Amino acid sequence: MADLDITTIDHGSAKTHLVSTAYVNWVMLQDADGVTLIDGGYPGHADAVVEGLRRVGSDLHEVQAALLTHAHVDHLGGLARIGRTTSFPVYAGDDEVAHARREYLEQADARTIGPLLYRPRVARWLAGVVRLGALDGGGIGDAQPFGDLSALPGAPVAVPAPGHTRGHTAFLAGDGEVLVSGDSLISGHPISACRGPQCLDEVFTHDVPANEESVAALAGLDAVVVMPGHGPLLSGHVSTFVEQALGRS
Ligand SMILES: [Zn+2]
């Protein structure tokens, strides 16, 4: 069982929970109607996804849907594995669905990561994530494009943020209080010595200028909590973190 931490923002009638592991995060939106998952870790995190639900008094039967920020294995893998035994729908952005179905793969591989293996952090990270199923090429064959998300638990709002992948999406939760930023804007990563708001290493990013453009646009939101795909929760107005991440502060 992976070690996990849960940080909860209570909005009154709904809660947004950030589930953190050493390698990647995911989010649970919870209200009286059930739970919406946003991402689900590596394949090896499938049990941890269930454990996260249990710790907030829920279970897989209460999950109404899962949303993907993007279809990289560290965000989709746990859901892909769980999906074999459950039946909630998995949604992704219009331009990410084919990626989730593995009609193509837009992800760092041996060719791109190999030259970085001299860095001890990268070598340690790779050993860890291979154990979590990083090389599992499976997707979610029945992933669907977002429809109307407003009726789902937590009433998430999709915010297109392409660049990290072509169909990457961020989400607002808690009436706009929380931004679930996925891998567009993160706050730490095992391969990075840098702590605090940042963009993910270029080796993992499909289109760096497009991602920077998306991150800059996030500054226009009114979120005061950011839950990233990697690294700890950020508490403060999103525009501050955008400036820091883009090196303009
Ligand atoms: Zn990613």
Question: What is the pLDDT tens value at each position of the chain, 249 positions in all?
Answer: 568 999 999 999 999 999 999 999 999 999 999 999 999 999 999 999 999 999 999 999 999 999 999 999 999 999 999 976 678 999 999 999 999 999 998 888 878 888 888 988 999 999 999 999 999 889 999 999 999 999 999 999 999 999 999 999 999 999 999 999 999 999 999 998 899 999 998 888 999 999 999 999 999 999 999 999 999 999 999 999 999 999 954
| 43 CA distance to ligand 1 middle (Å) | 14
| 204 CA distance to ligand 1 middle (Å) | 7
Predicted local distance difference test score (pLDDT) of residue 107: 82
Strand order in the sheet with 169-173: 157-160, 169-173, 178-182, 225-228, 234-235
Closest among 39, 42, 12, 19 to 128, alpha carbons compared: 42
Predicted local distance difference test score (pLDDT) of residue 249: 47
| 200 CA distance to ligand 1 middle (Å) | 8
In order of 141, 237, 240, the CA distances from 249 in angstroms are 42, 14, 8
| 70 CA distance to ligand 1 middle (Å) | 7
Per-chain residues with Cβ under 5 A from ion ligand 1: 72, 183
| 12 CA distance to ligand 1 middle (Å) | 31
161's tokens: 């943020």
195's tokens: 């702590």
| 32 CA distance to ligand 1 middle (Å) | 31
- Ordered alpha helix ranges (H), 11-117: 46-55, 73-82, 97-100, 110-113
| 71 CA distance to ligand 1 middle (Å) | 7
| 13 CA distance to ligand 1 middle (Å) | 31
pLDDT tens readout for residues 60-104: 999 999 999 999 999 999 999 997 667 899 999 999 999 999 999
In sequence order, the β-bridge partners of residue 235 are 225
Into which CATH architecture does domain 5-248 fall? 4-Layer Sandwich (3.60)
Predicted local distance difference test score (pLDDT) of residue 84: 67
Backbone angles phi, psi at 227, to 5 degrees: -110, 105
- CA dist., res. 93 & res. 168, Å (int): 7
CB–CB of 178/234 below 8 Å?
A: no
